[in-house]
Amino acid sequence: MPDSTVPPTPPVPLSALLAREDLALRRIAGPDDPGTVVHWVHTSEMTDPYPYLLGGELLLTAGVHIPEAAGSGTYFDDYVSRIVAAGGAALGFGVAPVHDTVPRALVAACERYGLPLLEVPPQTTFSGVARAVWQLMAQARLSELRRVTEAQQSLASAASRPDPVPSVLRQLAQRLGGWAVLYGPEGAEIAGAGRKPGEDAGSALAELARVVRPADAGAPPTPHSPPTSSLTNRPHPTSAADTVSGTHLAAYALGAGRGFVLGVAAPGRAPGDHTIVSVAAVLLSLLTAEQQSGTGAARSSALVRLLLGAAPEDVAPLLGDGRPWVVVHARPDGEGAQVVPDAVAASALGAALGSALVDPAGDVVRVLVPADRAPDPLPGWTLGVSAAVAPGDWPAADTQAARALARARATRVPLLRHAPRPALADLVPPGEAAAHARTLLAPVTAHPALPETLRTWLSLHGSWDRTAVALSVHRNTVRQRIARCAALLEADLDDPDVRMELWFALRHI
């Protein structure tokens, strides 16, 4: 039998269709197998429906194609054998208006070839049968989505507990109704939960874990190259599955090169199981990454020291080896409340940038990244990147990244870096420049929104629209603020000399 082209919708058990009282279908031949499922419904009056079947169908016919002398020859055997060869799940025969009863020769042929035969009563239309199948599919899909959503929420909650790894494994085992185990880089069981499988299945699961564990587990992965098997140059598998003694087994590698493996064993394989296990694998990858590297403890220690008054340069060695850093400000593309990033999106951004030092603050995510991991544009995000600085200059770099992000959004580029360069302004001593700026801008600094609007407007060459985008306000608000600045400063903002002097001053407040 050829492989069936399976649709993305969940199949419908034939028994569920027979249980529908409104259809009044009756199985009159073939095996009563609870595992028989229907993927779709097809109606055909062709003598040979084989070319039109994909497999998994409930084929419906009223017997229009049956010749008068069919019962005395091999017609029904040929007909049923072709349906079976095409992978048909079952045959439904509509009684009336062509045939008053299901032909006995057809019943006998379905018994011989093991094809379930359903009698469709006169009051049940073929379209009604098809509609019932689609309804059952929709119910199954909704149930699957609800189950996956509930599992995701419970797994995320488990990951936030004081004992996150055992909690995630317990929750996963409960959702699968089986066993979940975490293997370490050396193959030992670190933690497990649920109903442990038999010895044969347990040994097979450990072997699957060995298969997906990279040969160089524990060694740092080579940049820009996937981990490879010790036997071939092909990419090493990241997951494997098997069935032993009726138990479904699967193993998933957690993170490239670290050697941790998630193993699961379950008595069955329900729709949505793979998605649920994948969510658990992602959570465990994050948890084992911190367990392996100690970054979680280091970050906590750094935070405590900062809160207790330590200088950034004294804390930085806990986070790296004295390298320079850049600050990245990132904002999801789009407008409105729906683009405010949540904690999961912020963590994913940090992972993409190669840093776990992430701060989601409103609609902007701030990430502290080692300078040697220069970020590239990321789909779905707009990034502003500071200059590379020492830890003592982190606050200044934060300001640089914020301004770079504002310009990136205003100019609609995916990434903009702060690029300082020597200028005439550097010839003025900083103290004198700051004093001049305070005096010149004193009329507007009492209104916090005005200096920032003026700075952004000048940086964008007086563009009302781009300034409105950068500040997330209406263009009329920009016009009103700039007009207010001109009135308070008693200056002509269309004069390039005035703009230059104001720009100089704004850089020193």
Of 389, 417, 445, which one is at a domain's C-terminal end?
A: 417
- Do 335 and 286 fall into the same domain? no
Residue 144 placed within a domain: no
List the domain range (segments joined by +) for residue 280: 160-293
Q: Is the dihedral of CA 214, 378, 302, 326 positive or negative?
A: positive
Residue 261 placed within a domain: yes
Of 293, 328, 348, which one is at a domain's C-terminal end?
A: 293
State residue 429's pLDDT score: 72
- Do 45 and 103 fall into the same domain? yes
State residue 323's pLDDT score: 72
DSSP secondary structure of 320-378: SSS--EEEEEEEESS-SGGG---HHHHHHHHHHHT---EEEETTEEEEEEETTS-----
pLDDT reading at 15 higher than 60: yes
- Do 165 and 246 fall into the same domain? yes
Structure tokens at 179: 């066993």
Residue 25 placed within a domain: yes
CATH number for position 444: 1.10.10.2840
Residue 154 placed within a domain: no
- Do 380 and 257 fall into the same domain? no
Matching residue, tokens 């929709």: 138
Residue 308 placed within a domain: no
Q: What 3-state class would DSSP assign to 229? A: coil
pLDDT reading at 234 higher than 50: no
- Do 37 and 127 fall into the same domain? yes
- Do 197 and 255 fall into the same domain? yes
- Do 185 and 76 fall into the same domain? no
- Do 431 and 410 fall into the same domain? no
Of 100, 135, 170, which one is at a domain's C-terminal end?
A: 135
Q: How many domains does one find in the chain? A: 4
CATH number for position 36: 3.40.1390.20
- Do 495 and 411 fall into the same domain? no
Cβ-proximal residues to 294 (8 Å cutoff; 6+ apart), any chain? none
State the pLDDT confidence band at 391, using cuts at 50, 70 and 90: confident
**Average pLDDT taken over every residue of the chain:** 83
Give CA 256 to chain center in angstroms: 18
State residue 437's pLDDT score: 87
Residue 274 placed within a domain: yes
Residue 91 placed within a domain: yes
Task: Summarize the confidence of residues 411-432 as an average pLDDT.
Answer: 73
Q: What 3-state class would DSSP assign to 16? A: helix
Of 284-298, 357-371, 441-455, 490-504, least confident by mean pLDDT is 284-298
pLDDT digits (tens, 9 = 90+) for 57-112: 999 999 999 998 787 789 999 999 999 999 999 999 999 889 999 999 999 999 99
- Do 125 and 23 fall into the same domain? yes
Residue 17 placed within a domain: yes
Distance CA 209, CA 289 (A): 18
Of 175-189, 190-204, 232-246, 495-509, least confident by mean pLDDT is 232-246
Structure tokens at 12: 């419908």
- Do 18 and 129 fall into the same domain? yes
